[in-house]
Structure 1
Amino acid sequence: MEIVREVDERVERVFSEAFADTARQFEQVFPRLFPGGEGRLVLTDPENMLTTGIEIEARPAGKKVKRLSLLSGGERSLTAVALLVSIFKARPSPFYVMDEVEAALDDVNLGRLLEIFTELRDSSQLIVITHQKRTMEVADALYGVTMRGDGVTTVISQRLEREPEPAA
């Protein structure tokens, strides 16, 4: 029972710290993806950290909505990306793999997300599966899978050269 108690205490502590860091990041990332909006993470049962859930409160600019289910599909997608990026910033990793996370975004929102991707790229390697040309344009390397005329798939790759940033 002593071991179970120690494990529970450690899980509670680690979860609480990770949640606090992620919630702090979410409050910073959300308004960057939704200018003028507010977002926050809330525990469903803060008194019991071992069984609590997490709710996302999202209020894009000009809306009174807070429940995720009442947002449009694009807004829900962008809110999910904001949560994902918040986790990445709260608990950095050497690399991230994302599969078409920007597929439902319009041009303006894609531009905001690509700015954040550029920041993440400074400290981590991003592997992004995409069909979006703009996402490909900010990449350092592209890998594509194509099918030849005989039905055999082939992997092609291209390293992209970057123009050096002008000195300030």
Structure 2
Amino acid sequence: ARAEQDRTLTEHTHKQWQATMGTQRDRVSALVAQLSRSTDSAHEADLARSQAQLKLEQALTQAMEQLGMNAQSLLAEELPEDFDRVETAAELKKAERDLGKLGKVNPLALEEYKALEERYSFLSNQLDDVERARSDLREVIEDVDDTILTLFTEAWRDVEAEFPKVFATLFPGGAGRLVLTDPEDMLTTGIEVEARPPGKKVKRLSLLSGGEKSLTALAMLVAIFRARPSPFYVMDEVEAALDDVNLRRLIALFEELRKDSQLIVITHQKPTMDVANVLYGVTMRGDGVTRVISQRMNSSRLVTRDR
């Protein structure tokens, strides 16, 4: 019976020992698992620290390259109270996108800029020269316009006063005058000739005969001659369309003009030749040689020469 008790006690002790060992094994397993987790956490912490260190170094490098600031300067800068990290990050991304749109950096941009700057400076100087030249030209034009206005106004007054007198000489009993089309603008105004021969009511030149038109034009020329005399005048067959009566009236004006000037008149009219001081005749011989014959009307001597 005692042996049975000892065996039972031994079995009970063995079971307690096994239970204790199981408990210890469970604790060891739990501690091993906890150690493994701690090791993993430490490894992750080291990895995160390394990554953070790398990002910090990259940030410091960018700050130095882009802002020219070191770590001490960055730490000395205080963020504003209304600083919004999310909004600032969004602005940064937008700025980076805009920067990307600009494309790659052109290494020749500085040289191109200098060349364009020189070109711009040259063109600016040229533009200044053109502006000054234009200003000078405007002053010259104004001076010329003033001179033209003065000379034309004076000449107009004199010719306007002479034309009725000359017209009355060529058309006894008639009336003629000169009229400005735009008296308010003497630089651009035109001149109309009103002519009314004796016995006619018309004033428009288009309604006059060919001879009357010729005499009216001659009246205009002679009025200008009288207003602004010249040492000599050259006229080419101006009396070709005139009859004898009107021709005699024109010759009377020639006689008046040659008192102060010389007249060179190309004519086929004998009455005009009769009042000349010197005649020059041009003819061609049978051999094709041109002959010029000159004769002074106050001398019977005839002088000829061949050309």
Taking structure 1 as the reference length, what is the TM-score of the superposition?
Answer: 0.94
Identity score, percent: 72
Task: Indicate which of 134, 140, 145 corresponds to 2:277.
Answer: 140
Q: Which SS does the other structure have where 1:3 is aligned?
A: helix
Task: Report the equivalent of 1:32.
Answer: 169
Task: Report the equivalent of 1:117.
Answer: 254
- Structure (1 or 2) with the greater strand fraction: 1
Task: Report the equivalent of 2:244.
Answer: 107
Q: Which SS does the other structure have where 2:148 is aligned?
A: helix
5+ residue gaps in structure 1? 163-168
Higher relative contact order (CA 8 A, sep 6+): 1
Mapping for residues 37-116 of structure 1, pairs under 5 Å: 37-116=174-253
The 1-side partners of 2:286 and 2:144 are apart by 57
How far did residue 62 of structure 1 move?
1.2
5+ residue gaps in structure 2? 1-137, 300-307
Task: Report the equivalent of 1:130.
Answer: 267
- Structure (1 or 2) with the greater helix fraction: 2
**Number of equivalences:** 162
The 2-side partners of 1:100 and 1:155 are apart by 19
Residue-by-residue CA offset, 1:76-122 (whole Å, 9 max, x unaligned): 01100111111111100000000000111011111111011001010
Runs of 4+ residues over 4 Å off in structure 1: none
One-letter code aligned to 1:120: L
Task: Report the equivalent of 1:161.
Answer: 298
One-letter code aligned to 1:99: D
The 2-side partners of 1:81 and 1:128 are apart by 13
Q: Which SS does the other structure have where 1:156 is aligned?
A: strand
